Chains A and B, each alone.
Chain A
Amino acid sequence: MFKIAKYVMYDILRSKVLIAYSLFLLLVSFSLFSMEENSSKSLISLMSVVMIIVPLVSIIFSTTYFYNAYQFIELLVAQPINRSSILLGEFIGVSVSLLFALFTGVGIPVLIYAPDSTGLVLMISGFALTLSFISLAFFSSVAMRDKAKGIGMSLMLWFYFSVIYDGLVLGILFSFNEYPLEKAVIALASFNPIDLGRIIILMKMDISALMGLTGAVYKQFFGSNFGIIYSLSIMLMWIILPMLIALRIFRKKNL
């Protein structure tokens, strides 16, 4: 498993796309930090970028990588290697490479300009989002035989989580605004890793007052120790579940 991960990393770390991704993040981070005097303002802008770019790049890069590595996977399946180790090896390889890129692009600037707990939380959310979108990418690549369909499904997943879902939540809040929605709002946030990541960071920044009643509800729940454990474990579920389903499909797949 780790040997496969090693070869995957060896393959990816030389790819131009990954280098471009790191450089782009690096550029964005440095310019945001140098534009503002107050580093927490820059962190908020950086968060908005991270919440859109990181999931998109993670899911699309992993999906295309999987289809391009299909021949390699075929070669491995005919060898005395367990199928689960093959897929997990691929997952670890892609994950380490993308986390490395995120660390260079966002982690280093944050360490230089805002080495506080908020910066740390931003990094953790970014890492968790990267992992969960790689996991989702593996799910759609294994489920779809056709490359175009697989990439299409990945794009749809990203679009759903970053755009459609928020619209749906707004619609629900608007139509049921006469009812007590506190618990529902928390539950709704758990079904979207991007929202969850954003909330965790905003709670850390102590600007929930700006978010009105919902912010107060969030603060009360996600600000507590239980809330932190809860949100971290839900994040973890978003990493593990899609990958588990992908493993189940892959074990029975005809190559």
Chain B
Amino acid sequence: MIRTERLEKSFGKLHVLKGIDVEFKAGQVVSVIGHNGSGKTTLIKCILGMVLADKGNIYVDEKSIAGDFRYRENIGYMPQIGHYPENMKIGQIFRMMKDLRKNADVLDESLMEEYKLSELFEKPMHALSGGTTQKVSASLAFLFNPKVLILDEPTAGLDPLATEILKTKILEAKGKGKLVIITSHIMSEVEEMADTVMYLYEGKVNFYNSITELKQQTGEEKVGKAIAKIMKESAHV
């Protein structure tokens, strides 16, 4: 569903992505892990077209995304830290997004309802706590029923109840055959939600395989320990 081909990106002298070749398929829940600054967010932003790659291509449904913007109709994105116009109220944000995205015929408002956001519709964005902003971001990502969900550190800042609701929603999306890409530092969450792990190390794909494969390779029971083992190995090389 999403394929990258020798993707490279530098910011000035900083070489962030050094040739990424991966393929994400529908029905997968991929967890992208890596150190801070390993290029996770840059990779996500490249797929979203927010950052333009220097070299290489990205294909969504076998079509190159270069110069295209319509492919984003199929993507729901939840940023690490949601930034919204401060003067607007929650309700206005939702109305505006529905107005701006034309494919709003099959809306999925279940997350919005479960987070009881409609009770807060009159609250301005600048008065919201970090957690509530994350709830808004999550609800917006799922709102348009996209085929691909890209969630950048989705549970950071969410309370346990909100996290559980989001996890259930992610697993439900997987059941519907959607592709979900998550970056997370919390290994227990990776174990709960993801079926595939992609480990980025200094701008390269160090490991990209299913969790069962990961456990077999390292001989560890827990995903956290298995990943730590891989991280250590790659640091030695």
Contacts and interface: CB of A to CB of B under 8 A. Distances in A.
B101 interface: yes
Contacts of A163: none
A71 B49 contact: no
Interface of A: 3-4, 7, 11, 14, 69-72, 74-83, 252, 254-255
B96 A81 contact: no
Contacts of B85: 7, 11, 69, 71-72, 75
A80 B88 contact: no
Interface of A is mostly: helix
Contacts, number: 60
Nearest to B82: A75
Contact of B69 (A69, A71, A82, A252): A82
A216 to B, nearest CB: 53
Contacts of A3: 99-100
B88 A4 contact: no
B153 interface: no
A79 B73 CA distance: 7
B71 to A, nearest CB: 7
B3 interface: no
B69 A83 contact: yes
Contacts of A69: 85
Contact of B84 (A72, A78, A79, A80): A72
Contacts of B100: 3-4, 76, 79, 81
Given A3-B99, A14-B87, A78 B69 contact: no
B116 interface: no
A81 to B, nearest CB: 6
Given A78-B72, A78-B77, 8 more contacts: A11-B88, A72-B85, A77-B50, A79-B97, A79-B101, A81-B72, A81-B100, A254-B52
B230 interface: no
Contacts of A255: 45, 50-51
Contacts of A70: 83
